[in-house]
Amino acid sequence: MFRIGQSVDIHQLVEGRRLILGGVEIPHEKGLLGHSDADVLLHAIAESILGALALGDLGKHFPDTDDAYKGMDSLWMLKQVYRLMDEKGYRIGNLDALIMIERPKMAPHIQKMRENVAMALHCDMDAVSIKATRGEKMGFVGKEEGAQAQCVVLLMKK
């Protein structure tokens, strides 16, 4: 049996925050604003898995009203989502994710992001696709006001 999930996550880019994407801290003058570390990529991946399992959204499991999750490492959250997926008897078939951010360039960091995601989800790296694109100076991404990530995932029964 197969299940498909998809999700989008968006966070503001602001000064005074670290930029963490795919569990990788990337040097930049701005970072993503959020209750946790605001890793839009891992949030989109985790929520796509929750959606495929019909378990609600990320906020249901890690509410931003709970101080226990303030500054939380999103890789830890993704590992908790893996645990839920595993308990339901599913594994990753594959996932395809896209980061939308004007700068900095993501290419030097994508391999490490893929490694982090594959490790957290106990799957082969060839099941994890991560790509990036720019806003070409248009919209909130292009004007460097925020970043967005989206993911589609295929889960397979073990």
Residue 68 in marked binding region? no
Residue 10 in marked binding region? yes
Residue 58 sits at φ, ψ, to 5 deg, of: -60, -40
Task: For residue 136, give the amino acid letter.
Answer: E
Residue 67 in marked binding region? no
CA 48 centroid distance within chain? 9
Residue 133 in marked binding region? no
Residue 109 in marked binding region? no
Q: Number of folded domains in the chain?
A: 1
Q: What is the pLDDT of residues 45-63, one digit of tens each?
A: 999 999 999 999 998 998 8
In the predicted model, is pLDDT for residue 136 greater than 90? yes
In the predicted model, is pLDDT for residue 71 greater than 90? no
In the predicted model, is pLDDT for residue 68 greater than 90? no
Does this model's pTM top 0.95? Answer: yes
> What is the domain-level CATH number for residue 58?
3.30.1330.50
Q: Which structural domain, as residue segments, surrounds residue 11? A: 2-157
In the predicted model, is pLDDT for residue 69 greater than 90? no
Q: What is the pLDDT of residues 82-126, one digit of tens each?
A: 999 999 999 999 999 999 999 999 999 999 999 999 999 999 999
Residue 107 in marked binding region? yes
